[in-house]
Structure 1
């Protein structure tokens, strides 16, 4: 788990995305590390809640778009699994958003039960501006939290 820092204290696990040079972008390696960390957390009976955050300067700046031209449904589904694995946990989750939460990074924040944003936090759907469909349940999660009108205005405009 080289891209995740997992800390435990007083019944709370803190899962920190730790690739600040890449602004904690979602990659296949990071997704694998998230899944492994979540398995460890859920196996630990002393853990009652999870905080998800990112090493500064970003919370998660979205999916790594370097290989977007070769991306297919299977590779995108693997990226989605990074935040959907957290969404499926039975433990309460808190997103401590301390910087940019863009695209898949915003999905990571949306999939948590509670979101707490620092003053420097920025939320950006970004999908349509770069020609992508807002995947991974983005519009569904956003609508359930912010309401249909707000979600559509943020995603479309």
Structure 2
């Protein structure tokens, strides 16, 4: 089996799209993910996966807190932007209205849902780490159509 075939096969599973954020010192870090899921209701746990070579990986492990903004279809531009490697960190959130949660992480005002989390566990997942977080705050501010990712492209319901 090769990685290209693998990507095609797993790409047949439609997912939502979110931006995960964290803050180290005065620097915001953000990354688009489609590997975000609920884990447990008691206690409230969620997870996302971060590629180990991504600069976000080191930042989120250092910070120990992170936010999740589940994106509506109208924020595809944000998804594309935060999926690009090597973009400047300075001012990267300026194009999208956001606010700070109680933990200090950025949360997008236009999100369908937001969560703040503190890292509970980190597990090895090959070239990624599986970051499990305890939910410390949550909201569902919008009922807009969700942004979906399927078969290598964006869509909506």
TM-score, normalised to structure 1, is 0.26
Point out the structure with the larger strand share.
2
TM-score (norm 2): 0.26
Higher RCO, Cα 8 Å, sep 6+: 2
Pick the structure with more helix per residue: 1
